[in-house]
A and B are shown apart, each in its own frame.
Chain A
Amino acid sequence: MKRRGFHGSARSTHKKVLLMGRSEAGKTSMRSIIFANYIARDTRRLGATMDVEQSNVRFLNNLVLNLWDCGGQDAFMETFFTSQKDVLFSNVEVLIFVFDVQSSDVQKDIEKYQSCIETGIMKYSPDAMIFCLVHKMDLIPKAQREMLFSKRKEELEHLSKPLKISCYATSIWDETLYNAWSKIMSLLIPNVGQLKLKLKKFADHINADEVLLFEKATFLVVAHHMRKEHNDANRFEKISNIIKQFKLSCNKMQSFFRSIEVRNSSFAAYIELFTANMYIMVVMSDPQVCSAAVQLNINNAKRYFKDTDQSGTQ
Chain B
Amino acid sequence: MTNEVATLEVPEWSIAADSALKLEPGSRQLSASPSSASLLTNTSSNKPKILLMGLSKAGKTSIRNVIFHKMSANETQFLDPTHKIDKIDISNKSFLDFQLWDFPGKLDISHLRDKEDTSTIEKIFVEARVLIFVIDPVEEKHSIAIDRLHGTILEAYKINPKIKFEVFIHKSDSINEDQKIDNIREMTHRINRKLMTAGLQDRILISFRTTSIYDHSIFEAMSIVCQQLLENVLSPFENILNAFVSSNKMEKAFIFDLHPKIFIATDSSTFDMPTYELCCDMLDLIADMGCIYQEYEGGEERGVFSTCSVIKLNDTLLHLKQINRHLALVCIQLQQETACTQGIVDYNFQQLKHGIQEVLKVANL
B281 close to A266 (CB less than 8 A): no
**Partner pick for A173 among B74, B278, B309, B316, CB 8 A cutoff:** B74
Tell me whether A103 is interfacial, beta carbon within 8 Å: no
Looking at A18-26, A51-59, A66-74, A240-248, the stretch in contact with chain B turns out to be A240-248
Give the residue name and chain of the A residue nearest to B311 (CB). A260
Residues of A within 8 A of B1 (CB): 263, 290-291
CA of A283 to CA of B289 in the docked complex: distance in angstroms?
11
Known pairs A263-B306, A266-B296; list 8 more (Cβ under 8 Å): A209-B296, A232-B292, A235-B292, A239-B292, A253-B277, A261-B311, A262-B290, A269-B289
Residues of A within 8 A of B278 (CB): 249-250, 253, 255
Which 3 A/B pairs are nearest by Cβ-Cβ distance?
Answer: A265-B299, A264-B307, A249-B281
Residues of A within 8 A of B313 (CB): 250, 255-258
CA of A160 to CA of B322 in the docked complex: distance in angstroms?
54
Tell me whether A267 is interfacial, beta carbon within 8 Å: yes
Tell me whether B112 is interfacial, beta carbon within 8 Å: no
B285 close to A264 (CB less than 8 A): no
Residues of A within 8 A of B (CB): 40-41, 173, 209, 230-232, 235, 238-239, 242-243, 245-246, 249-250, 252-253, 255-267, 269, 283, 285, 290-292
CA of A232 to CA of B312 in the docked complex: distance in angstroms?
28
Give the residue name and chain of the B residue nearest to A238 (CB). B292
Residues of A within 8 A of B181 (CB): none
CA of A260 to CA of B4 in the docked complex: distance in angstroms?
21
- 26 inter-chain pairs at a CB distance below 8 angstroms, sorted by A residue, are A41-B74, A173-B72, A231-B295, A238-B292, A245-B281, A246-B281, A249-B278, A252-B277, A258-B312, A261-B310, A262-B285, A262-B289, A262-B290, A262-B309, A263-B307, A264-B299, A264-B307, A264-B308, A266-B296, A266-B297, A267-B296, A269-B293, A285-B293, A290-B1, A291-B2, A292-B4
A243 close to B285 (CB less than 8 A): yes
Minimum CB–CB distance from B48 to chain A (whole Å) comes to 31
Give the residue name and chain of the A residue nearest to B300 (CB). A265
Interface residues of B in 282-298 (CB under 8 A from A): 282, 284-286, 288-290, 292-298
Residues of B within 8 A of A257 (CB): 311-314
Evaluate whether A265 and B304 lie within 8 angstroms (CB atoms) in the complex, with A239-B292, A253-B278, A260-B311 already known. yes
**Partner pick for B288 among A242, A267, A285, CB 8 A cutoff:** A242
Give the residue name and chain of the A residue nearest to B315 (CB). A255
Residues of B within 8 A of A261 (CB): 309-311
- Specify the main secondary structure of chain B where it touches its partner: mixed
Candidate in A258, A260, A291, A292 with the most chain B CB atoms within 10 angstroms? A260
Interface residues of B in 1-57 (CB under 8 A from A): 1-4
Q: What is the number of residues of chain B that contact chain A, defined by CB distance less than 8 Å?
A: 40
Minimum CB–CB distance from B220 to chain A (whole Å) comes to 15
Residues of A within 8 A of B292 (CB): 232, 235, 238-239
B311 close to A259 (CB less than 8 A): yes
Evaluate whether A255 and B316 lie within 8 angstroms (CB atoms) in the complex, with A242-B285, A245-B284, A265-B302 already known. yes
CA of A243 to CA of B309 in the docked complex: distance in angstroms?
14
Minimum CB–CB distance from B335 to chain A (whole Å) comes to 10
Interface residues of B in 305-334 (CB under 8 A from A): 306-316, 322
CA of A253 to CA of B273 in the docked complex: distance in angstroms?
11
Residues of B within 8 A of A231 (CB): 295
Give the residue name and chain of the A residue nearest to B310 (CB). A261
Residues of A within 8 A of B322 (CB): 264
Contact string against A for B residues 317-361, beta-carbon threshold 8 Å, 1 for contact and 0 otherwise: 000001000000000000000000000000000000000000000
Give the residue name and chain of the B residue nearest to A228 (CB). B296
CA of A245 to CA of B309 in the docked complex: distance in angstroms?
17
Give the residue name and chain of the A residue nearest to B304 (CB). A265
Minimum CB–CB distance from A40 to chain B (whole Å) comes to 8
Minimum CB–CB distance from B259 to chain A (whole Å) comes to 15
CA of A12 to CA of B191 in the docked complex: distance in angstroms?
66
A259 close to B293 (CB less than 8 A): no
CA of A40 to CA of B284 in the docked complex: distance in angstroms?
17
B281 close to A259 (CB less than 8 A): no
CA of A243 to CA of B286 in the docked complex: distance in angstroms?
10
Residues of A within 8 A of B299 (CB): 264-266
Residues of A within 8 A of B277 (CB): 249, 252-253
Evaluate whether A264 and B312 lie within 8 angstroms (CB atoms) in the complex, with A246-B282, A249-B278, A290-B4 already known. no
Residues of B within 8 A of A269 (CB): 289, 293
Give the residue name and chain of the B residue nearest to A262 (CB). B309
Minimum CB–CB distance from A175 to chain B (whole Å) comes to 10
Candidate in B3, B74, B286 with the most chain A CB atoms within 10 angstroms? B286
Residues of A within 8 A of B307 (CB): 262-264
Residues of B within 8 A of A250 (CB): 278, 281, 313
Minimum CB–CB distance from B281 to chain A (whole Å) comes to 4
CA of A40 to CA of B72 in the docked complex: distance in angstroms?
12
A290 close to B281 (CB less than 8 A): no
Give the residue name and chain of the B residue nearest to A234 (CB). B292
Residues of A within 8 A of B304 (CB): 265
CA of A245 to CA of B282 in the docked complex: distance in angstroms?
10
Minimum CB–CB distance from B330 to chain A (whole Å) comes to 13
Residues of B within 8 A of A263 (CB): 1, 306-309
A260 close to B309 (CB less than 8 A): yes
Candidate in B2, B289, B304 with the most chain A CB atoms within 10 angstroms? B289
Give the residue name and chain of the B residue nearest to A256 (CB). B314
Give the residue name and chain of the A residue nearest to B5 (CB). A292
CA of A245 to CA of B290 in the docked complex: distance in angstroms?
16
Evaluate whether A265 and B306 lie within 8 angstroms (CB atoms) in the complex, with A255-B313, A255-B314, A291-B2 already known. yes
Evaluate whether A264 and B290 lie within 8 angstroms (CB atoms) in the complex, with A243-B285, A249-B278, A290-B1 already known. yes
A290 close to B3 (CB less than 8 A): yes
B312 close to A262 (CB less than 8 A): no
